[in-house]
């Protein structure tokens, strides 16, 4: 607990932390609202036959919100190596794995909180926007509700997705020990595979890339209609495996390298 309190104090007093947490919420809500506002039943075959996955689209702001999560997680880990303050941290808490666990726990907790606020804001924005674009009871569409199991699963899964992205970024930052390299590597890991899928023509490999890339697999939890490349919780499991491997590699290197 003393290590966790120390990590919380460092995170809380860092000048960028509060702004990055605000960005997690603001980016998630803003992009989700923007995407939702572009939907309209006039674009569908008939007002009653829209096939849009409304819960998924309302949460699409996570694509941008995760960038702020990556920056927050990386800075919480690599920043101390850049400034050499890691030596002071290890003088106070010599158990290196305890330091890493405390960092991961604190960052994950604040990320889950910011993610929950962003998801809640996106859900409320969609509830206000969609009826004005024809998605109303008169056309056969009820309001988005967390009482609906698929919508609730998409919301909860999105929060968990952001928490796992934070853990992945901490692992990569612990390996790289450089802020720019860690942010670049994590974002490449998240975004490069979906881009690579568009360049691959073999449908078998397209399916494999979609099922086993960390972002597309993890975000399968948002899909509430047929056509998901992987089961929702299996997809989060794939992302958790990436995060676990990164953290394990980071822990081994943190334990054996000079601070």
Kindly tell me the sign of the dihedral angle through the C-alpha atoms of 29, 31, 33, 39.
negative
Q: What is the pLDDT of residues 72-126, one digit of tens each?
A: 999 988 877 777 777 777 778 778 888 889 999 999 999 999 999 999 999 999 9
Helix axes 149-176, 62-83, angle to 10 degrees: 20
User: What pLDDT, in 10s, does the model give residues 32-64?
Assistant: 999 999 988 887 777 777 888 899 999 999 999
Cβ count near 226 (within 10 Å):
7
Percent of the chain at pLDDT > 90 equals 55
Whole-prediction pTM: 0.92
Task: Determine whether 190 is exposed, middle or buried from the number of CB atoms within 10 Å of its CB (0-12, 13-18, 19+).
Answer: buried
């Amino acid at each position: 607990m003393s290590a966790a309190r120390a990590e919380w104090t460092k995170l809380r007093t860092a000048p960028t932390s509060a702004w990055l947490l605000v960005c997690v919420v603001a980016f998630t809500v803003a992009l989700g609202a923007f995407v939702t506002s572009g939907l309209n039943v006039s674009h569908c075959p008939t007002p009653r036959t829209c096939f849009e996955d409304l819960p998924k689209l309302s949460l699409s702001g996570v694509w941008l919100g995760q960038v702020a999560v990556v920056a927050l997680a990386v800075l919480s880990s690599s920043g101390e190596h850049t400034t050499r303050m890691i030596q002071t941290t290890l003088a106070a808490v010599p158990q290196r794995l305890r330091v890493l666990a405390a960092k991961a726990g604190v960052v994950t907790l604040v990320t889950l909180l910011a993610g929950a606020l962003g998801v809640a804001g996106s859900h409320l924005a969609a509830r206000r926007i969609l009826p004005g674009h024809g998605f109303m009871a008169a056309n056969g569409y009820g309001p988005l509700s967390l009482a609906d199991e698929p919508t609730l699963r998409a919301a909860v899964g999105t929060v968990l997705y952001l928490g796992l992205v934070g853990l992945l970024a901490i692992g990569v930052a612990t390996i790289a020990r450089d802020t720019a390299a860690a942010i670049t590597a994590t974002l490449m890991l998240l975004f490069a595979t979906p881009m690579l899928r568009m360049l691959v023509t073999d449908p078998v490999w397209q399916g494999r890339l979609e099922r086993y890339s960390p972002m597309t697999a993890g975000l399968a939890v948002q899909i509430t209609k047929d056509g998901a490349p992987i089961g929702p919780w299996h997809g989060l499991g794939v992302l958790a495996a990436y995060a676990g491997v990164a953290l394990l590699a980071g822990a081994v290197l943190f334990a054996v390298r000079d601070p």
